[in-house]
Amino acid sequence: MATTSSTLIGVAVVRCGGRYLVGRRGPDGPLAGYDEFPGGKCRDGESAAACAARECREETGLEVEAVELLLRREFTYAHGSVDLNFWLCRLREGQSEVTLQNGFGWVTTDELAGLRFPEANAPLLELLRSL
């Protein structure tokens, strides 16, 4: 159960053809310049799975569906506490994996290791290497 001070976050870990969808955080806001999976704050009453799919659509233009909760982790950064819900997602039928926006792209599992993700993502990255 998330503490009342944690912000509920839905994260879409989109896998397609052995690759993962990754972008880079913009220069404004917390963790600027870090690599990231699509995701963001859940709206009131929104599940983390629905949030992950919505945020992916808003950030990348891709329609996905959440299929499995990979990891849930509470973490405290200097800017606040987050309740991260990493959902394995797949592209909805008819979606092309090359129709992307906002600088998102596809990387292999091996390439994930060379990227700079926020500290809270470390257990997820380890998990993805074992899949």
pLDDT at 29: 84
Q: What is the phi-psi region of residue 77: left when phi exceeds 0, alpha when psi lies from -120 to 50, beta otherwise?
A: beta
Tell the residue number behind the tokens 């990754």, with chain if given. 22
Task: Write out the two tokens for 91.
Answer: 């592209």
SS3 119: helix
Tens of pLDDT, residues 22-44? 999 988 888 999 999 999 999 99
Q: What is the mean pLDDT of the chain?
A: 92
The pLDDT, as a whole number, for residue 97 is 59
* 3: confidence class by pLDDT, cuts 50, 70, 90: very low
The answer to whether the CB of 104 falls within 8 A of the CB of 23 is yes
Q: What are the structure tokens assigned to 10, written together?
A: 């839905």
